Amino acid sequence: MVNEKKILPKRIILMRHGESAGNIDAGAYETTPDHKIPLTEEGRAQAREAGKKMRALISTHSGSACGENWRVYFYVSPYERTRTTLREVGKGFSRKRVIGVREECRIREQDFGNFQVEERMRAVKETRERFGRFFYRFPEGESAADVYDRVSSFLESMWRDVDMNRHQVDPSSELNLVIVSHGLTSRVFLTKWFKWTVEEFERLNNFGNCEFRVMELGASGDYTFAIHHTEEEMLDWGMSKDMIDDQKERVDGCRVTSNDSCSLHLHEYFDLLDVTDDDEE
């Protein structure tokens, strides 16, 4: 039964893990399984600093009565580097602020295969650039399209958690969901969320290590980056002017329905030369 007093998250925050051994030495994947690649000491420090910044952002922008009682719920990829990132991020929060944590396999890194020989992976990634980053499937691994399917399933589950108040958040509190994941997985999440096209996905730049991006619920009832992030930031992420304009409209504009959103791409498929039928008077 759906909870009639559904509490929408005030913010959904997407975060990439800190610097890992694989980020500084691709040869690490030849002997260590991807899911066991650890953070570097720099990566741990990045995560601790990110935790402080995240707490400051949430507490500073939570001005209402509910905001003063803000709480955080974390979803985390089961990979070693994301789990360690969360442990370090968590040092920036008091226990009373954290509702809970769920390890979620569907937000893991894209599967590139098993042990990854550096020279072979370099050639494979060059092929991916020619083929297209979204549809190219790594031998023995996944494509970004495969990741899209499992992230879509995760999103459905996340919203069931919200609908049924599985986060067990008090109605007097402001809920913040934080997803500690990986660069490509986070970009796929955003593509699904905002109904971006494959072409729009492929123009996006990766998150930096321990970079987090904040989607906040606007007055329109939609989530948007434009409350916490500048146009310059979004341009740096690879977003087009149309994508950025959409973010701005979500702050306090009229809510866009799924059908309205789809109409934005009509010009890509149809030459709408005539506004009406020929036989209309």
Query: Which sequence positions are flagged as catalytic?
Result: 17, 109
Quote the CA–CA distance of 19 and 85 in Å, as a whole number. Answer: 9
Contacts of 33 (CB under 8 A, 6+ apart): 114, 115
Q: Are 202 and 45 in contact (CB under 8 A)?
A: no
3-state secondary structure the chain: CCCCCCCCCCEEEEEECCCEHHHHCHHHHHCCCHHHCCECHHHHHHHHHHHHHHHHHHHHCCCCHHHHCCEEEEEECCCHHHHHHHHHHHHHCCHHHEEEEEECHHHCCCCCCCCCCHHHHHHHHHHHHHHCCCCCCCCCCCCHHHHHHHHHHHHHHHHHHHHCCCCCCCCCCCEEEEEEECHHHHHHHHHHHCCCCHHHHHCCCCCCCCCEEEEEECCCCCEECCCCCCHHHHHHCCCCHHHHHHHHHHHHCCCCCHHHHHHCCHHHCCCCCCCCCCCCC
Quote the CA–CA distance of 15 and 178 in Å, as a whole number. Answer: 7
